[in-house]
Amino acid sequence: MSLIKTHEEIEKLKRGGVLLSATLRKVMAACRPGVSTKELDEIAQREFARVGGTPSFLGYKISADDPPFPSAVCISMNDEVVHGPATPERTIRDGDIVGLDIGMWHEGLATDMATTVIVGDVRPEVRRLVEDTRESLVRGIAAIKAGGWVGDIGAAVEDYLKPKGYGIVKDLVGHGVGHAVHEEPQIPNYRDPRGPRVRLEEGMVLAIEPMVALGTWKVKMKPDGWTIVTADGSPAAHFEVTIAVTKDGYDLITPWPDV
């Protein structure tokens, strides 16, 4: 169960969320051909330092025996779904779609968000994938209100995407956030009849993040041990916001960076 946040904690999270969104906006603006993923990461790290935040992904470990994640931003391109490390060797090219997943500790609390940037000219179906993935997130968070169910979110996402024939990634899900980078509950982006029924409660803080492929929903790990790619090499898109559940809906903790 996601930890319920106090009013004071939610206000702190909102302050951090505004700063995180502004940081992501600066990284997005620099996402153009010829720029390395390492350069994008350096922009984020400088901005974190300027606003008094700490990157929540840099040094993150899944378990004590795992290597730490090497960058502040997960930068995933084309068939990479999530968790791509930033490196000097990886350079943005015209025609890429670039997923930027970013998280920050601020005032002792963590926020999390992501967007997918279209760089230059892409195929029409790839542009639609990106646009539809964003819209599926809009539909998912619109289903949120205290007294509802976590499953309502995934149902709304699936109802929008499934008729369009996309692959909704099943091995990766949204999550609670705030006191930790990842908290309960897990939030699938599809109907999961085998999953636990979790009631949405006022004060829950959740990171909702559809991950959607133009082809199969199946994914695999690259040899780097971090980057998740589509099993068939098809393009993938990823959008994420952090929200707080309210009596009648939700409060947006991380403002949309593209509006």
CATH code, domain with 34: 3.90.230.10
In-domain check, residue 110: yes
In-domain check, residue 109: yes
pLDDT band of residue 63 (cuts 50, 70, 90) is confident
Q: Which residues contact 19 (CB under 8 A, 6 or more apart)?
A: 51, 53, 104, 106
In-domain check, residue 201: yes
In-domain check, residue 258: no
Q: Supply angle C-alpha 134, 76, 113, rounded to 5.
A: 50
DSSP H or E segment with residue 27: helix 7-29
Residue 3 pLDDT? 81
- As given in the structure block, the two tokens for residue 65 are 């025996």
In-domain check, residue 226: yes
When the pLDDT of each residue in the chain is averaged and rounded to a whole number, the result is: 96
In-domain check, residue 257: no
Instruction: List pLDDT tens digits, range 77-125.
Output: 999 999 999 999 999 999 999 999 999 999 999 999 999 999 999 999 9
Rounded to an integer, what distance in angstroms lies between the CA atom of residue 166 and that of residue 234?
Answer: 11
Q: Does 185 sit behind a cis peptide bond, omega within 30 degrees of 0 on the bond before it? A: yes
How many domains does the chain fold into?
Answer: 1
Q: From 79, 73, 83, 80, select the one nearest 31 (Cα to Cα).
A: 73
Q: What is the mean pLDDT of residues 54-76?
A: 93
DSSP H or E segment with residue 10: helix 7-29
Q: From 139, 172, 180, 171, select the one nearest 2 (Cα to Cα).
A: 180
Instruction: List pLDDT tens digits, range 243-257.
Output: 999 999 999 999 999
pLDDT band of residue 196 (cuts 50, 70, 90) is confident
Rounded to an integer, what distance in angstroms lies between the CA atom of residue 212 and that of residue 134?
Answer: 10
Identify the domain containing residue 193 by its residue range.
7-252
Q: Which residues contact 139 (CB under 8 A, 6 or more apart)?
A: 156, 157, 159, 160
CB 58 within 8 A of CB 117: no
Residue 2 pLDDT? 56
Residue 114 pLDDT? 98
pLDDT band of residue 14 (cuts 50, 70, 90) is very high
Q: From 148, 239, 252, select the one nearest 189 (Cα to Cα).
A: 239
CB 235 within 8 A of CB 213: yes
- As given in the structure block, the two tokens for residue 87 are 């490196």
Residue 13: pLDDT above 70?
yes
Residue 1: pLDDT above 80?
no
3-state secondary structure of 48: helix
Query: How do strand 241-245 and strand 167-168 relate by DSSP bridges?
Result: unpaired
- As given in the structure block, the two tokens for residue 98 are 């670039």
Q: What is the largest CA-CA distance in the chain?
A: 48
In-domain check, residue 129: yes
pLDDT band of residue 203 (cuts 50, 70, 90) is very high
Rounded to an integer, what distance in angstroms lies between the CA atom of residue 156 and that of residue 151?
Answer: 9
Instruction: List pLDDT tens digits, range 159-189.
Output: 999 999 999 999 999 999 999 999 999 999 9
CB 115 within 8 A of CB 68: no
In-domain check, residue 134: yes
- As given in the structure block, the two tokens for residue 36 are 């390395």
Instruction: List pLDDT tens digits, range 19-28.
Output: 999 999 999 9
Instruction: List pLDDT tens digits, range 123-162.
Output: 999 999 999 999 999 999 999 999 999 999 999 999 999 9
